[in-house]
Chain A
Amino acid sequence: MSSSRVSQYELILDDDKALIPKGGYGGLDLSERLPDAEGFAYGQFAGRFSEDLYIPETDWQGMIEEREQQQSQISDFIRHKQLAPLNQGNTNYCWANAPVHCLELVRMRQNQPLVRLSPASVAAPIKRFANRGGWGRDAIRWLADRGAVPVGSWPANSRDQKYYNDSNRELAKNYMVREWVECQPRNLSQMVSLLLRGIPLAAGYNWWGHEVTLCEAIWLDGEVAIRFRNSWGNWGDYGFGIVRGSKMLADDLVGPYSGSMT
Chain B
Amino acid sequence: MLTLLLALNLLLDEGNSPFPMTAVPDVVTPQPTPVADEPHPIGTVQREEFYVLQSEAPLFVVSSPPGLVEITHEQGPLMARGRFAGGGGKTETRMLLGDHLYFVDAVQSGTVELIVIPVGATEAEQIQRQLVEVQAGPRPPPQPDTDTDTEPEPEPDGIPVDDTGGFRVLLLLDESADPDTLTAVDSLNTVRWLDENTDDWRRWDRSTAETDGELDKEEPVWRRIWQAARPALPEGPQLLIIQGKTITVRPLTSQVVQELEVAK
Which of A's residues lie within 8 Å of B, judged by CB?
43, 45-48, 50-53, 55, 59, 63, 66-67, 70-73, 76-77, 80, 109-112, 174, 178-181, 196-198, 257-258, 260-262
User: How many B residues face the partner with a CB closer than 8 A?
Assistant: 39
Known A-B contacts A52-B78, A110-B203; the reply to A261 vs B208 at CB < 8 A is yes
Contact B214 A260 (CB under 8 A): yes
A-B pairs under 8 A by CB, number = 105
The contact of A45 among B3, B184, B214, by CB within 8 Å, is B3
Q: Which residues of B contact A (CB under 8 A)?
A: 1-4, 77-79, 93, 95, 175-177, 179-180, 182-184, 186-189, 191-192, 194, 200-205, 207-209, 211, 214-215, 217-218, 222
Contact B93 A47 (CB under 8 A): yes
Contact B179 A55 (CB under 8 A): yes
Tell me which residues across on chain B come within 8 A of A112, comparing CB atoms.
202
Contacts of B201 in A (CB 8 A): 111
State in angstroms the CA–CA spacing of A112 and B222 once bound together: 12
B205→A77 contact, CB < 8 A: no
Q: Which residues of B contact A51 (CB under 8 A)?
A: 77-79
User: Is B179 a contact partner of A197 (Cβ separation < 8 A)?
Assistant: yes
Sample of 8 further A-B pairs with CB below 8 A, known A55-B179, A179-B2, A261-B204: A47-B95, A70-B186, A70-B188, A111-B203, A258-B204, A261-B214, A261-B215, A261-B222
CB distance from A106 to the nearest CB of B (A): 9
- CB-based contact A178/B191 at 8 Å: no
A180–B4 alpha-carbon span in the complex (Å) = 12
A59 to B200, CA, bound (A): 34
With contact pairs A43-B4, A178-B214, A262-B217 given, residues A52 and B79 touching in the complex (Cβ less than 8 Å)? yes
Across-interface contacts of A261 in B (CB, < 8 A): 202, 204, 208-209, 214-215, 217-218, 222
